[in-house]
Amino acid sequence: MSDLFGLHETSDPEKRHAPKTIFVHAKDTPSVRLPGIKNVREANVDARSHSRKLMKLMTTRWVLIVALWPCIAAGQNPSILPVDIEVPFVSPPVSGGGASNLVYEIHLRNFWRKDLILTGVDVIDQKTGGVARSISGDELYESIYKPRRPDDSSDANLLECGRVLVFYVWLTFEPSQDLPDRLYHRLVFSVAGSEMQDERSVDGGVITIPKTDPVKISPPFANGFWLIGSGPSNRSEHRRTVLAVDGRTWLLQRFAFDAMKVGHDGRMVGGDLATTNNWRSYGQDLLAVADGVVALVVDDIPDNIPLSGERAVPMNRETHVGNCIVLDIGENRFVLYGHLKKGSMPFNVGDQVKRGAVIGKVGNSGNSEAPHLHFSIGTRPDPYSAEGLPFVFDSFESVDIENPGDEALLSTGFGAVSITKAPRTGAR
Ligand SMILES: [Zn+2]
């Protein structure tokens, strides 16, 4: 149930260790000053009454100061290291795991003629100059996605001339902590092949933390116990699935999860694994998580034979997510249900549905190995070209694998497990 949508960075052999706990701390950093600014400014005024030659010189230096001013004002160090830093999208902070979580990616491109080795990433509060997070070592190495040919075994943090890296950021803040308004990043590199201790840094990737709350939804299942796999974490396969489609990169699966129904015997399947109907998930009702309007329906793709490694139809953009329905729930939020059962969605685009209404049934269509629901919320109705948004459930009960009771369940990520046998109130 995990091999969805193709690009899976966790299958990368560079992934060597389990994810580390993220800590948030702040320490004072020296304020940034450019030497000579005040002197140059004063000299420029004086130059008006001096020789033309001196005037020309001072005017040139004024231009330099004006050009650097945005950088100075932002608290960032000026740098000529030709690395492009881009943060394509910042999702709203979301509570989970006892913390407030801020999730985004930094894209790095090396425009220099030399290869660089990324050795550190500092996340800096633009207002205070304090370092909110400093990432290095194994954690840094494991936070990188490097698009590569199959025969390329170069280090993940080696940013060769002309190449691109994606750096996955997952910041946690104490619930009582005020989140910064804006952050920027200091990327520290060493020069590959240099015998000198040649370390350079470049600041950039300024982000404004969104103030919007994540949407609160009801569970997509009617009842029972459901295993939530590849749920929200910085290492889940969904989290690492950056897709380049329609001329840019997207990460719709930033907070996506997969769900499989678990029976009261603690099993997800009873009998022959290759028989679709033996899977407890198969044919289960799926519910609208909010009032919405149907924005997309695909309902004609046959199911795969479970665990066969085969697909009933060729995989392409039209078939990868299988039968699916997308609900427009307003405010540019679109709910995607993927891999559904053929013929289970009697809807047309534009139909209105109410929260809790049955909108389809779990299937095993598209790029799916066993019957399960793939679920995400994004900024656009397309199953690929959208940015993933966080969400919280209005009620669910989490079952701890350490204390399973009558049920044996597993969990991944802070999203934990299990939905709605006896819903508790309160968002998680
Ligand atoms: Zn999935």
What is the reported pLDDT for 305? 95
Whether residues 192 and 339 share a domain: the answer is no
CA of 198 to the centre of ligand 1 (A): 43
**Domain residues for 60?**
37-73
Whole-number Å distance, alpha carbon 276 to ligand 1 midpoint, is: 18
- Distance (Å) from CA 366 to ligand 1 centroid: 11
What does the pLDDT read at residue 191? 94
Are 163 and 20 found together in one domain?
yes
pLDDT in tens, 241-275: 999 999 999 999 999 999 988 877 777 888 888 99
CA of 257 to the centre of ligand 1 (A): 5
Phi, psi of 234 (to 5 degrees): -75, -5
Tell me, in angstroms, the distance from the centre of ligand 1 to residue 98's CA: 24
Q: Is residue 415 part of a domain?
A: no
Q: How far apart are the first and last CA of the chain?
A: 24
- Give me ligand 1 centre to Cα 238, in Å: 6
Q: Are residues 378 and 274 in the same domain?
A: yes
Find the largest Cα–Cα distance for the chain: 95
Domain contains 319: yes
* CB neighbour list of residue 320: distance below 8 Å, 6 or more residues apart: 4, 5, 6, 366, 367, 383, 384
Is 199 a member of any domain? yes
Same domain, residue pair 60 and 120: no
Block means of pLDDT (10 residues each) for the chain, 428 residues, are: 27 32 24 28 34 45 46 70 97 90 97 96 96 96 96 97 97 91 97 85 96 93 82 89 95 94 79 90 96 98 94 95 98 98 97 97 96 96 97 79 37 34 33
Do 153 and 21 belong together in one domain? yes
d(CA 269, CA 271): 7
Q: Is residue 200 located within the same domain as residue 270?
A: no
Residue 98 falls inside a structural domain: yes
Q: What separation in Å is there between the alpha carbon of 231 and the centre of ligand 1?
A: 9
CATH number at residue 325: 2.70.70.10
| Judgement on whether residues 197 and 129 belong to the same structural domain of the protein | yes
Whole-number Å distance, alpha carbon 187 to ligand 1 midpoint, is 32
Counting the structural domains of the chain, the total is: 3
Going from the Cα of 154 to the center of ligand 1, the distance in angstroms, rounded, reads 29
CA dihedral 412, 280, 356, 254 (to 10 degrees): 30
- Please say which residue of 208, 237, 272 terminates a domain: 208
Instruction: Check residue 74 and give its pLDDT.
Output: 57
Cα distance between residue 299 and residue 125, in whole Å: 47
Going by their DSSP bridges, the two strands 215-217 and 391-393 should be labelled as parallel
Task: For residues 235 and 166, state if they share a domain.
Answer: no
In angstroms, what is the span from residue 180 Cα to ligand 1's centroid? 32
Identify whether residues 173 and 230 lie together within a single domain: no
Which CATH number covers residue 89? 2.60.40.150
Measured in Å, residue 216 CA sits from the centre of ligand 1 at 20
User: Is there a domain that residue 417 lies in?
Assistant: no
- Give me the pLDDT at residue 400, please: 56
Residue 168 resides in a domain: yes
- CA–chain centroid gap for 385, Å, is 14
Q: How far is the CA of 337 from the centre of ligand 1 (A)?
A: 10
Whether pTM > 0.85 for this model: the answer is: no
Can you give the pLDDT at residue 394? 86
What local confidence, expressed as pLDDT, does residue 356 receive?
Answer: 96
pLDDT at position 428, please? 34
Task: Write down the pLDDT at residue 328.
Answer: 98
Please report where in the chains the tokens 């997207």 appear, as a residue.
250
**The predicted structure's pLDDT at residue 406:** 31
Q: Indicate whether 122 and 184 sit together in one domain.
A: yes
In the chain, the amino acid numbered 37 is I
The answer to whether residue 416 is domain-embedded is no
User: Residues 358, 319: contact at Cβ < 8 Å?
Assistant: no
Residues with CB under 5 Å of ion ligand 1 are 4, 258, 374
Residue 202 and residue 229 in one domain: no
pLDDT at 40: 29
Q: Calculate how far, in angstroms, residue 321's C-alpha sits from the geometric centre of ligand 1.
A: 9
- The whole-angstrom separation of Cα 269 and Cα 62 is 73
Do 297 and 168 share a domain, yes or no?
A: no
| 172, part of any domain | yes
